[in-house]
A and B are shown apart, each in its own frame.
Chain A
Amino acid sequence: MSVSEVASLLNQDNSSATIGHHGKVPVEHLDYGYIEKCTHTKYLEKILRELRSGEEGMYPHLIQFCEDHLRTLDPTSRALRKEQPIATAGSLPTEEWTEISQDLQQWQEEAKDYEMSRRPSAMFHNAGNENIPPIRSSGASVPLGQNAASKAKKDPPKRALPRDYSQWDTFDVDRECERIDGNVSKKDTPAVINSGHVNIKPGVDVTTLTEKDKLLLADREKDKGNEAFRASDYEEAVVYYSRSLSIVPAVAVYNNRAQTQIKLKHWHRALQDCQRVLEQEPLNLKALLRRATVFQHQDRLSLAAEDLRAVLHVEPHNATASDVEGDDDVATEDEEKAEEHARPVDRRQLAGGEESVVTPVERGDMGNAQKKPHGGHHGDGASADTNHGSTGHFRRGRGGSWDKHKAAGETPGKAANGTGKRGSTASEHGGGGGGSKGGGGSAGVDLDAPCGALPPPLARLKNEGNLLFKNGQFSDALGKYSQAITGCTDSGLDSPEDLCILYSNRAACYLKDGNSQECIQDCTRALELHPFSLKPLLRRAIAYDSMERYRNAYADYKTVLQVDDSVQAAHNSVNRITRLLIEQDGPQWREKLPDIPLVPLSAQQHRREEPPTAEALQARADRTASDTARRAEVRFNALKLEGNDMVKKGRFQDALGKYTECLQLKPGECTVYTNRALCYLKMERFAEAKQDCDAALRLEPTNKKAFYRRALANKGLKDYLASSADLQEVLQQDPGVQEAEKELEEVTALLRQSLDAGAGASPPTAKPRKKVPITEVRSATDSTPRPPSQEVDNTASINLQPADAYEFGQSLNAARSQGNAAACAQLLSSVDPEQLPQLLGNQLDGQALGFVVEALDDHLLARDPGRVYRLLRHLRTADRFTVAVMLLETAERRRVTQLFAHLSAVQSADFTKDDVLNLANKYII
């Protein structure tokens, strides 16, 4: 219809409409031709009324025609509403009616039972009805209605006039406030919004109700919640669901509340509700899906994927047991879909990360492509990229087709068939064309790529068609395919496979154009040439489906599933159509189905017959490996999270189990060790805690938490020395940890106590220096192992051969905390003086310095003054030395002076008196 025609028609309509408004409908308008062209619904309604009135005679067919036409224009038109007699039981299918009447019967019996059981409790009045206010005091306080109404009438809100400027001068605030406190507040408030949830209590007191009544009440509250949800009053809905749950905690209500919380973006609460549902029903699909949504929004993608997979384990497996591969793909596909719902997720993270298949896998992508023509192929593209390492595809979606194209090049005979094979069916309709695009990347040069047994001109036509299809120019692609088909038949080419593909491709074009009839014809032709090939079957099914010929569609989908049961779109459609057919035909719907052909075994899942190439096998193995790793990862994370949750709840025993499982999955995870150590600590199993901390420190030698927890464990084990050493390590790493400081104080106090106690009970720990036989000491050199002495017994816990700064620090601290100057002297005598500043690091403080000086003076000076001098000389260059010197206490200062006095008294070749004097100036300020 041309534009001018339409315009004239509109004018005509308008003019006739005006005529119609004034008078009757002209008789010439009561005509098939006129009605058919008329698009003016109001006028059509008028014509219809005229026709129905019978003033111009009765024309039942014309009336029917007019009604049909009006229905296509405006299905809700009032003129189409007809008086209908009431339906009776007879007007329903017998099955449906039986169902209804049985349901009713059951209800009647329940109601009867309820009434019988209810009587005894009839004593309770007003229970569960918290809304009843006290009786309104009647009489004086209640103004009579006439007054209230007339008062309101005199002063209705809508007649509120703006104040004159002069009025504001005499504005009496107090009086106005009084007035507002009276009854007329409404006109001053901008708008009254009755948001429902504000005044509602989230809980209901049902103590006096029977179980049955509780169920009833809970159900009503749930209904209210559902209504509020439908009206998008999510907060109100949450309140009502909570009320319902406070009466009877039902799974369905938790589930609903979870959904509402998702709408409100309260992820954490939604998660809690989902967890509660899943605690009771671990396979509740809705809850799993909702939890997946929550996880996605919390960016915990692997958990979301796990949930989705769980859903898919329940749902598609009802029909068939499909292999793990198929499953995974489906899961990933579902994830993608889910992601499309949940926008803020990075799609590539999942698609690229999880799919490392060698071949893009059939995923029922016709169905997908219909829904989201551009989105569906990202996964394929990503996988193709990983396989071939082909980089620089400017459109990722095309990569999958490139793969197909390459396959076609290698094994033209098979790949060109493109219908049955899993590898090449990924996106056949975008097949060669897409391939050329992807392959060239720069320009679509590959149009002459060989296509099966087709002669080059035909192959070119086909490839052009594919390209056009890919670009969305379906009708142009249609032309190319048609040319190719005629070329094929004319040349008498005997290649049914190629012809089949051409028909199948043309069918895809028809399908895209919405020409279902032609599509079905082409698919049928293709199937005649090559029975049970997947693509034409699927396309025919979709075409039937769109024409609402559900029975045929059902048969085709079923055949598709026989051929390859991993086509998710077919599964979905079968489910949907089954429901539709049951509604349409009742329970005997199966009898009305056309025959579903039995697919011969040879046609089933042909991809399996071809021995996979070594490359494919390798890739598959890789994939399985990465898959297991990924699964382990997912499981590990889940376990860890569960463990953390349990710790939060104080269920340490359970958490312990979870962490142990975690460690079985992944023994190299430091945090799990520290977490488990925490559990052990809480359960007062200190030895195990210590072990875990040690393990953690082996993995991460500077883990603060591990040190802190080991300190606690040591404290629990009464090894205060080690505990304080650990705490000091913590403080050294981060001086701001106040807990550690407190613990350190406590531990030091405990240590002192235990030392005092030990001093009382056992032989003295520190030997007076007089008892050290000087000769022996002198004979001992730095490098030779020390002869076992009494000191060594006491210093068993002190490492006298420090390998690094840390161990040195620990040993020094240990000696200091024991007050064991001899041990310190030994320690100092075993280290290289030049290394001392490095070993001390920034640990030097006043007390440490004092202690070192004491040790040098008491124990080392007599033995090896040269060493003392060197030590002192290098100590001076240590970090924080000047600060430490300033912090020395008086007694310690005296000690320093004493040391230098002793030192200068010694005659040595290593140093002169002047040297000592110079050095002393540095120490004595």
Chain B
Amino acid sequence: MSTPFEKPQIISHIQKSLNYTIFDSKWIPCSAKFVCLGNLARGTGVMQIYEVARGELRLVKEIENAKPLKCGTFGATSLQQRHIATGDFGGNLNIWDLEAGEAPLYSIATGSRDGTVKVWDPRQKDTPVANMEPGEGHAFNAQDRCVCAGYDNGDIKLFDLRNMSVRWETNIKNGVCCVEFDRKDINMNKLVATSLEGTFHVFDMRTQHPTKGFASVSEKGQKSTIWQVRHLPQNRDVFMTAGGAGNLHLWKYDYPAQRSKEDSEGVSMGVAGTVNLLQNVTLSTQPIASLDWSPDKKGLCVCSAFDQSVRVLIVTKLNRV
């Protein structure tokens, strides 16, 4: 039943203007705090930690870095550690202990501007554990040890880290902006890939046909580039796309009745489901550069746009979709 009352609403909770260009924002696990990464006007990088308290943002800590910080992740850390790994424009990978200090725990020079995808293990500083062809965007899955990379010619490749091979590749005809698995700590289930001209594709990664590969469904979300896609951590079938025209779209993937069927030769092949738009809003006139769901509070998310502001949003009624 989708009466207007049932539909999720996207509510702007807090909006804060910043004095730098913000590239990425990430929630710190198990807290009401998030990290903003960006580029100060004087050309240096900045990392700020904000805490959400009583409808306002309180600056907890600010760290300046020699180079502008492009992106960060808590993906390589445990619940207890909460170390953030950041990448900067100088080609360095830094790992920071947010509670300890101003300087990174250690940094790794990777130089991704050479256009390769490298996989690093934080336990080993000197050599990347894997190194792949040019690309951008990546996702990682713990069960399969696969890395998926999208390329600006529209290629999407799935690398198997176990035996260092390309397990699957396809082309979505337009430059790939972002790829994400719906959940990182399960056997790969779904993959969303977004593109420059505003369509996105959802691949069902459970059944791989020898020639047809994975089944997929595509949807044209908006007229502008979709820069980011983020799955709701509490429900892998709900995801939000962030567009170049400052808009957010909330989608839900519905599985088909049968996720796989047999083709004429009796080989299993996947069946794609459908994608339904739950809600869409326009936030800003500028592209939205980053989006991150709170891993702890369902429906809470932070997003940053190139209008130099960070917003904390609340999405309601997510448990009813």
Contact = CB atoms under 8 A, between A and B. Distances in A.
B268 A81 contact: no
Contacts of B31: 111-112, 114-115
A158 B99 CA distance: 50
A102 to B, nearest CB: 11
Interface in B95-110: 99
Given A86-B283, A111-B32, A232-B259, A190 B210 contact: yes
Interface in A191-208: 191-197, 199-200
Interface string A114-125: 110011011011
Chain A to chain B: the 10 pairs with minimum beta-carbon distance, closest first? A152-B166, A145-B132, A196-B187, A145-B131, A138-B127, A192-B208, A191-B268, A136-B129, A111-B32, A86-B281
B258 to A, nearest CB: 9
A196 B117 contact: no
A145 B117 contact: yes
A61 interface: no
A143 B163 CA distance: 9
A92 B234 CA distance: 24
B206 interface: yes
14 contacts: A84-B282, A111-B296, A118-B80, A145-B130, A157-B211, A160-B210, A183-B164, A186-B167, A192-B207, A194-B144, A199-B187, A223-B233, A231-B237, A232-B255
Contacts of B157: 149
Given A125-B81, A138-B127, A183-B165, 7 more contacts: A76-B277, A86-B283, A100-B316, A138-B126, A148-B159, A193-B260, A226-B235
A142 interface: yes
B268 A190 contact: yes
Nearest to A231: B255
A107 B282 contact: no
B281 A195 contact: no
A216 B281 CA distance: 31
B166 A194 contact: no
Contact of B116 (A108, A145, A156): A145
Contacts of A149: 132-133, 157, 159, 166
A343 B183 CA distance: 37
Interface in A366-387: none
Interface in B167-223: 167, 169, 183, 185-189, 205-211, 213, 220
Nearest to B12: A86
B113 interface: no
B169 A196 contact: no
Interface string A198-229: 01100000000000010011000001101100
Interface string A64-78: 000000000000101
Interface of A: 76, 78, 81, 83-89, 91-92, 96, 100-101, 104-105, 107-108, 111-112, 114-115, 118-119, 121-122, 124-129, 131, 133, 135-136, 138-139, 142-146, 148-149, 151-153, 156-158, 160, 183-184, 186-187, 189-197, 199-200, 213, 216-217, 223-224, 226-227, 230-232, 236, 580, 583-584
A121 B80 contact: yes
Max chain A C-beta neighbours (<10 A), residue from B116, B159, B189, B235: B189
Interface string B132-172: 11000000001111000000000001010101111101000
Nearest to B122: A135
Contacts of A81: 277, 280
B187 A84 contact: no
Q: Give the contact-size bracket for chain B.
A: 35 or more
Given A135-B124, A196-B187, A158 B211 contact: yes
A231 to B, nearest CB: 5
B11 A193 contact: no
B53 interface: yes
Contacts of B9: 87, 91-92
Interface string B4-23: 01100111110000000000
B207 A194 contact: yes
A194 B205 contact: yes
Given A191-B268, A230-B255, A100 B314 contact: yes
A156 B164 contact: no
Contacts of A86: 10-12, 248, 281-283, 313
A156 B157 CA distance: 11
B188 A194 contact: yes
A114 B121 contact: no
Contact of A104 (B80, B127, B161, B314): B314
Contacts of B225: none
A918 B277 CA distance: 107
B210 A189 contact: yes
Listed residue (A138, A151, A236) with the most chain B CB atoms within 10 angstroms of its CB: A138
Interface in B74-93: 78-81
A193 B206 contact: yes
B61 interface: no
Contacts of B66: none
B59 interface: no
Contacts of A100: 11, 314, 316
Contacts of B283: 86
A153 B155 CA distance: 12
Contact of B185 (A88, A112, A131): A131
B54 A105 contact: yes
Contacts of B132: 145, 148-149
B247 interface: yes
Contact of B186 (A108, A138, A186, A224): A224
B42 interface: no
Contacts of B220: 78
B30 interface: yes
Contacts of A89: 11, 13
Contacts of B11: 86-89, 91-92, 100
B297 A104 contact: yes
A223 B30 contact: no
Nearest to A212: B30
A153 B123 CA distance: 31
B208 A196 contact: no
B269 interface: yes
Contacts of A194: 144, 187-189, 205-208
Contacts of B32: 107-108, 111-112
Contacts of A183: 163-165
B153 to A, nearest CB: 13
Contacts of A136: 121, 129-130, 161
B67 to A, nearest CB: 24
A104 B210 contact: no
Given A76-B276, A138-B127, A145-B132, A87 B185 contact: no
A770 B153 CA distance: 120
A115 B98 CA distance: 13
A83 B260 contact: no
A69 to B, nearest CB: 19
B300 interface: yes
A124 B211 contact: no
Nearest to A217: B79
B236 interface: yes
A187 B210 contact: yes
Given A227-B237, A583-B5, A84 B210 contact: no
B111 interface: no
Contacts of B80: 118, 121-122, 124-125, 127, 213
